[in-house]
Structure 1
Amino acid sequence: MQGTTVKAAEQAEYTHPKHKDYHLRDLVTAAVNPALSVHLGRLEPGGEIFVHTHDSQTETFHILSGQAVCTMGEEKIEYGSGTCGTAPPGIPHGLKNEGQEPVVLMAMFTPPLK
């Protein structure tokens, strides 16, 4: 068995097809870790990860930089750098960047999303 090293800047960036101005890089997928997937996201100013749920994944997201308004269930909460949220299956969640700077975040899914 061997470990894996991933350099985020070397991973292809793509725009999420269902959200507004949200760009992703897949860092860890089920092919590397069958228990977890990890994705680096960038939410542009005015961008939004629309409120959604996952049927079978728990999503944990950690804000690395910037500020966003997080919808978690019925609550709206200010999320800034260093804030981490966890949305179990079936819990509505989303992020909106109302600021002037991009929001950079790490999104982790258990089990893997991809």
Structure 2
Amino acid sequence: MGGTTLNTAEQPEYQHPKHKDYHLRDIVTAAANPAMSMHLGRLEPGGEIFVHTHEAQSETFYILSGEAVCTMGTEQIPFPSGACGVAPPGVPHGLRNDSRETVTLLALFTPPLK
């Protein structure tokens, strides 16, 4: 069995149905990698990934560009480009973009979200 190559630009972008001004591209899903999924996110100025938890997945999110405010548990932390967060199952987490610039991020889920 060979590997898989994927082009992010070919994946359709969609508005996340539960968050404000948060757009996603599903880069890697369980169909390509049964161990994890990876998603490219775009959080617009004033947008918010509302505080939430995952019952079965750990979420690792990495800020590629821009700056957000991260909620992790009960803490609110400035989250600049290069910051990485890991939220195990059941841990409340979210991101808020209070800046004038778009925030781009990678979100990885183990096991896969999709």
Q: TM over 0.5: same fold?
A: yes
Aligned position for 2:107: 107
Give the Cα separation in 2 of the matches to 1:49 and 1:95. 5
Q: Counterpart of 1:34?
A: 34
Runs of 4+ with >6 A deviation? none
Residues in 2 aligned to 1:68 and 1:36: alpha-carbon distance in whole angstroms: 24
* Deviations 1:28-73, CA, capped at 9 Å, x for gaps: 0001100000000000000000000000000000000000000000
Identity %: 73
- The equivalences for 1:1-114 within 5 A come to 1-114=1-114
In structure 1, how many angstroms separate the alpha carbons of the residues matched to 2:103 and 2:111?
Answer: 24
What's the CA shift for 1:108? 0.1
Q: Counterpart of 2:104 in structure 1: which amino acid?
A: V
> Hey, what's the Cα distance between the residues in 2 that align with 1:40 and 1:9?
10
The one-letter code of the counterpart of 2:36 is L
Deviation of residue 5 (structure 1)? 1.1
* TM score, norm. by length of structure 1: 0.99
CA RMSD of aligned residues (A): 0.4
User: Scaled by the length of structure 2, what TM-score is found?
Assistant: 0.99
User: May I ask how many residue pairs the two structures share in their alignment?
Assistant: 114
Which amino acid is the alignment partner of residue 78 of structure 1? Answer: P
